[in-house]
Amino acid sequence: MGALLSVQAPAITQTHLPTVHFAEKPALLPVKKQTETDGTDLLSLQELLETRCPSLFTEFKPLWWLFNGHLQTIYCVLGDFSNRDHMTYRRTYLRVADGGTLGLDFAPVDQSSVKEDAPIVVVQHGLTGGSYEPYVRAVLSHACAPVEKGGLGYRAVVINFRGCAGVPLTSYRLYSAGHTDDTRNALAYIHHQFPKARLLGLGFSLGSNVLTRYLGEEGAQTRLQSVCALACPWDLKANNHGLLTSFLGKHIYSKGMGGNLQNLLKKHIDSLTGDPTHHVAIAAKTAVGLSNPTLADFDQEFTRIAGGPPPHFPFPSSDDYYVWGSSDKMIPDITVPFLSINADDDPVVRHVPMHGGENGSVVMVLTKRGGHLGWFKAGDGFVDRWTTRPILEWLKLMGEDLAPSADSSRAPKLFVDEEGWLREEGRPHLGCKELSETVVEGNSGEAGILQGL
């Protein structure tokens, strides 16, 4: 996994602190002066995190009855979070140029109560999740709360993948860990709606992989000012193969994720099989007929074929798709502040590039225990997540403390064409158009889909 470098805040004496790796030369960032009305200081990313994100350097102490990564992960799936962190969203359905549909869930519902330049947290959820996921709500319930009620006063937008969280499937294409054009279209729309707002990326599991790949592909043209990635799967081939080497990995986690994808596909099978001779329709029929598939089984029969557009898709095999879709090789090309948090006992993600590509903009954190998207600890009368406070501190730092960057306007220019499509200059294959809006209650999941994966 590369060399590890532990960085500790001076006052901390715990013995199970997270491992925090900064590059040898952390990026210097323009920071608003706290004692003057104008002007900026240049401070290193390491200094900023040590002083303004102190909880990142504190020990994660799991609940006594969730003492290992398996229990933490299983509780993420089976735990009852219905009484915590309630969220309601205003959903905008977007039609994209290839005929697909995205569901963008905005919070708070009353957008008029938020300043037009308030930072926006742009969320990408896990494998088959959506804006209803407890790990999403745990952050957004605080980030979107008014400042006078202890929140950040930010907007948030959850980009629900095609077919997820009640979003209809309207094309012969699903989504995948590596395809990023839907993210581009969504970010273009969000920026067009709120041109004065900073966009702060927040990804969970597969969504982290998509955001990391987007950053690497875009380089200095990214519309995101920063990204925080939780439980990113990084090396898809190594981590998917790793699941198959143990009984729990194969029969609990891999089959749980494969079953989720299969059940999601079954919900949309009619949309995918209108033309029974289409290669995606043929793949869909095969995939829904699999018996208790692992994630690798499903990806072999369907994702490698329908997880994105040509020329990449279809891939010869799932391994070819995994190699192409991995995000670890994108780390050196990231140009904005990037915080990654993984757990050392995550049963799903066993390979983490803790060297961070020696990229000065990248900070890699590995906690002692936490499972996959767990990090459950004791709260004040409830089960809390250790990651919530570090994420909120990071969002505040990126959204408020940093001065605007001179490099933040390099993204392709936007225009609306004669048919009403929002497009980016130089990218004719992209485009989106608003279809409709509705209000959605975001506190319960989908039937047949396990939460937390």
pLDDT per residue, tens digit, the chain (453 aa), is: 343 333 333 343 446 899 999 999 999 999 988 765 677 889 999 999 999 999 999 999 999 999 999 999 999 999 999 999 999 999 999 999 999 999 999 999 998 889 999 999 999 999 999 999 999 999 999 999 999 999 999 999 999 999 999 999 999 999 999 999 999 999 999 999 999 999 999 999 999 999 999 999 999 999 999 999 999 999 999 999 999 999 999 999 999 999 999 999 999 999 999 999 999 999 999 999 999 999 999 999 999 999 999 999 999 999 999 999 999 999 999 999 999 999 999 999 999 999 999 999 999 999 999 999 999 999 888 899 999 999 999 999 999 999 876 555 689 999 999 999 999 999 999 999 999 999 999 898 888 899 998
Burial code (b: 16+ CB inside 10 Å, e: under 16) for 240-270 equals bbbbeeeeebbebbbbbbbbbbbbbbebbee
**Residue 357 CB neighbours (<10 A):** 20
Query: Which of 74, 77, 94, 21 is closest to 430 using CA atoms?
Result: 94
Amino acid at position 424, single letter: E
Q: What is the pLDDT of residue 407?
A: 56
Runs of H (alpha helix) within 97-180 = 134-143
Distance CA 145, CA 338 (A): 24
Q: What are phi and psi of 205, to 5 degrees?
A: 55, -120
Burial class (CB in 10 A: 0-12, 13-18, 19+), 99: exposed
Q: What is the pLDDT of residue 8?
A: 36
CATH T-level assignment (fold) for domain 19-235+326-441: Rossmann fold (3.40.50)
Query: Where does CATH 3.40.50.1820 sit in the chain?
Result: 19-235+326-441
**Residue 387 CB neighbours (<10 A):** 28
211 in Cβ contact with 201 (< 8 Å): yes
Q: What is the pLDDT of residue 181?
A: 97
> Which residues, including other chains, have CB under 8 Å from residue 382's CB and lie 6 or more apart?
83, 84
Q: What is the pLDDT of residue 12?
A: 38
What pTM value is reported for the model?
0.94
224 in Cβ contact with 215 (< 8 Å): yes
> Which residues, including other chains, have CB under 8 Å from residue 419's CB and lie 6 or more apart?
none
Q: What are phi and psi of 39, to 5 degrees?
A: 95, 160
Q: What is the pLDDT of residue 446?
A: 87
> Which residues, including other chains, have CB under 8 Å from residue 267's CB and lie 6 or more apart?
163, 446, 448
> Which residues, including other chains, have CB under 8 Å from residue 34's CB and lie 6 or more apart?
none
Query: Tokens 């937008």 — which residue?
Result: 157
Amino acid at position 335, single letter: T
> Which residues, including other chains, have CB under 8 Å from residue 153's CB and lie 6 or more apart?
114, 115, 118, 144, 145, 146, 147
| Max CA distance (Å), the chain | 68
Query: Which of 285, 273, 96 is closest to 175 using CA atoms?
Result: 96
Which tokens is 30 given? 């323009």
